[in-house]
Chain A
Amino acid sequence: MSTTTARKGRSPRRNRHSTALTVAMGLMLLYAFLPLVWLLLASTKDSKSLLSSFGLWFGDGFHLFTNIHDVLTYDDGIYVRWFGNTLLYAVVGAGGAAVIATAGGYALAKYRFRGRNAVFALVLGAITIPGTALAVPTYLLFSKVGLVDSPWAVLLPSMVSPFGLYLMRVYAQDAVPDSVLEAARIDGAGELRTFFTISLRLLGPGFVTVLLFSLVATWNNYFLPLIVLSDPKWFPLTVGLNQWNSFATGAAGSGATTTGFYPLIVTGSVLAIVPLVVAFLFLQRFWQSGLASGSVKQ
């Protein structure tokens, strides 16, 4: 992240750095990274050293691979299944959300039709309702049509992203100049073709932004799947890991736990964040603005 200070003429940029700011940023960095460091180190420990060694250094022995093996094989590899479920929900749900939000936002921004403002006001209102509040009504709705305890019960609500729609409308307003659309229409392109070949490219950065937001939201979604799913074979990682956690923390007040669950939870959490990190690293290069500059003379 480069901060461009106002440059006068062509004088070289001076590196002015403030010790206080650097220290403050360093502290923030520590604050953000320490838990992650703890998690990574903890995933290399077995139950015994996890509960006896210092948190921010290695314990005795390096058990990461044993732990990973344990995570992947516990309960006939249920973790792998949860992982697959989460991927499915995140990719299909977030992909769907991004596509629908992009198309909807574009339509709201670029077409004039009756009720447009009413629709937009409705969307703005929808943003203010937390998803958690809708989980129970959603369950009741789905149970009437027989969709509970199936992946659809998670996928369908995940594809609805009012915030994404709002973001895309605001973004499309400026990113797709009206003159470009007019030029396309004069050249004889249909609306759909214009959308897919021209507008979509201009909307790329916004699309990726919404995709990333929805990806993280679906990946971390907890309450909705908790309510609508009861069969562990459809659980996403969040609900599955929490189930392991309650085994470890004896939420049930029974001694029927048979495994040392802590290393499983820690290692399972490490594995669970890897795809998100990858997604961020991969998608951030699409995060550039200014794609539309130079397409028309203003």
Chain B
Amino acid sequence: MSQHKTQLRRLLATLPAAALVLSLAACGSSGDGGGSKPGDPATALDTPTTLTFWTWAPNMDKAVAGFEKKYPKIKVNVVNAGQSAAEYTKLQTAIKAGSGGPDVAQVEYFALPEFALSKRLVNLDEYGAADLKAKFTAAAWSQVTSNGGVYGIPQDTGPMAMFYNEKVLGEFGIAPPKTWAEFEAAAAKIHQADPNRFITSIDPGDAGGVDSLLWQAGSRPFQQKSATSVGVNLADDGAKKVSEFWSGLLAKKLVDPAPGWTNEWWQSMASGKYAMWIIGAWAPGNLASTIPQTSGQWRAAPIPQWGTGDPVSSENGGSANVVPVTSTHKDAAVAFTKWLNSDPDGTKALSDNGLFPATTDMLKDPAFLDKPIEVLGGQKANQVFAQSSAAVSPNWQFLPYQVYANSVFKDTVGQGIAGNGSISSGMEAWQKRITDFGTQQGFSITAP
């Protein structure tokens, strides 16, 4: 608890996104980077403690019950404090205030560097997290490491896959495309047969979706070089490839530039207006619960490829569990986080809950791999997803202020997607906004 008063920037605080970044705005006094020394986890687990766990994944109490049974002295209070940005706003304010925050929190990978950089999170390296590295997929582990520290334990991942409606593709006599060139040909075929139907949609407001496409194409637009310097390049080869490809599709009206997840969008998914959805491996649960009438029509396949060599994939979504520096039970909190996300009982409970695993054991587990998935017509799709997970291309990084960057995506790249200019000019605008903001926040920005 620091009594140090920092100047609150009232204007910034009006925006949740900006409120998040307040932390970066030269207030290096709150939180001491986890001043207390790690104790013995065994002792901590044998001391009566109540932990507060912020997560938005439903049914998490079932997973937690297993832990409480094993360590009866610890009670874990599961709180759904809101989802994604809603939770981050709260988490930042709580940590800043020094109280009222949780002991463990769920944070998506894209937001993690922001919390880590502003010294909001316990560096789990001090708690021997390095031993866990081998348990997780390389992609998941690289997303919790930031500037040489480990700031979270991976909880779930979202390797990319192509979910296509078999019935719809069959109607047009199209085989599931294996490359982006085939994808374009299939899109043209659908458009010729029926201009009101599309191979898929692209969301002008979803930065994460475009990030996944860039990632897969080999683009590395965001680089965190040190605690104070950041590289931004939204015009590298991969980014150019993606921008031009999708601009071309949009110009020929081969994909539908529509916001995802809306009522209208689900209607289009249910009615066969869209033939496929290219998204993270967590999607079957959403298909099954939102449009049950299409259950059994969907199939999963690898994401279309750019090249002919080994398959390359990327991630979409996924989160880690972090321990904020304000936690008063850090030892127990770390022990709980480790158990939930790496103990076989913990990971099984998470997987049963619909979270796509982040541990290599789980991804190799025959029971998991051979599980038929009803919404995908009984396909053992976890095999497809596990291959995708193994093929995720390494070294992707997020900005230390990705939450802000994502919030201005729809005003920049989103405009290009929606048809006001090209995606490339949208990328330029996004680059500019990200650079300006980073400079304001005191980062030195290296741009191409």
Interface size on B, residues (CB 8 A): 63
* Cβ-closest chain A residue relative to B60: A256
Residues of A within 8 A of B81 (CB): 230-232
B94 and A143 contacting across the interface, CB-CB below 8 Å: yes
Chain A, interface size category, equals 35 or more
Q: Is B185 an interface residue (CB 8 A)?
A: no
A255 and B270 contacting across the interface, CB-CB below 8 Å: no
Residues of B within 8 A of A125 (CB): none
Give Cα distance in the complex from A243 to B56, angstroms: 9
With known contacts A133-B10, A226-B89, A232-B80, A258–B97 Cβ distance under 8 A = no
Among A110-118, A213-221, A244-252, the stretch in contact with B: A244-252
Q: Is A136 an interface residue (CB 8 A)?
A: yes
With known contacts A231-B79, A232-B80, A246-B56, A51–B286 Cβ distance under 8 A = no
Residues of A within 8 A of B283 (CB): 255
Residues of B within 8 A of A239 (CB): 82
Q: A47, A50, A255: which has the most chain B beta carbons within 10 Å?
A: A255
With known contacts A144-B97, A230-B100, A252–B57 Cβ distance under 8 A = yes
Distance (whole angstroms) from the CB of A250 to the closest CB of chain B: 6
CB interface residues, B 61-107, toward A, < 8 Å: 79-86, 89-90, 93-94, 96-100, 102
Q: Is A262 an interface residue (CB 8 A)?
A: yes
Chain B proximity mask over A47-67: 1 for CB below 8 Å, otherwise 0: 110111000000000000000
* Cβ-closest chain A residue relative to B19: A136
Chain B proximity mask over A232-272: 1 for CB below 8 Å, otherwise 0: 10000001001100111111111111111110000000000
Give Cα distance in the complex from A249 to B261, angstroms: 5
B90 and A51 contacting across the interface, CB-CB below 8 Å: no
Residues of B within 8 A of A148 (CB): 94, 97, 99-100
Q: Is A167 an interface residue (CB 8 A)?
A: no
Chain A proximity mask over B9-48: 1 for CB below 8 Å, otherwise 0: 0110110100100100000000000000000000000000
Distance (whole angstroms) from the CB of B110 to the closest CB of chain A: 9
Give Cα distance in the complex from A261 to B261, angstroms: 12
A254 and B356 contacting across the interface, CB-CB below 8 Å: yes
* Cβ-closest chain A residue relative to B156: A254
Distance (whole angstroms) from the CB of A243 to the closest CB of chain B: 6
Residues of A within 8 A of B261 (CB): 248-250
A256 and B57 contacting across the interface, CB-CB below 8 Å: yes
Q: Is A188 an interface residue (CB 8 A)?
A: no
A258 and B354 contacting across the interface, CB-CB below 8 Å: yes
Q: Is A284 an interface residue (CB 8 A)?
A: no
Residues of A within 8 A of B319 (CB): 252-254
Distance (whole angstroms) from the CB of A105 to the closest CB of chain B: 27
Chain B proximity mask over A143-179: 1 for CB below 8 Å, otherwise 0: 1101011000000000000000000000000000000
Given A144-B97, A255-B355, 16 more A-B residue pairs with CB atoms under 8 Å apart are A48-B293, A51-B290, A51-B291, A130-B14, A137-B8, A137-B10, A148-B99, A230-B100, A246-B82, A246-B83, A247-B56, A250-B286, A255-B282, A255-B283, A257-B58, A258-B285
Identify the A interface with B (CB < 8 A).
47-48, 50-52, 129-130, 132-133, 135-137, 139-140, 143-144, 146, 148-149, 223, 226-227, 230-232, 239, 242-243, 246-262
7 closest residue pairs by CB, A with B: A253-B317, A255-B285, A255-B282, A143-B97, A230-B81, A249-B261, A246-B83
For this complex, 8 residue pairs linking A to B, each with C-beta atoms less than 8 Å apart, are A47-B289, A230-B81, A231-B79, A248-B261, A254-B285, A254-B354, A258-B58, A261-B290
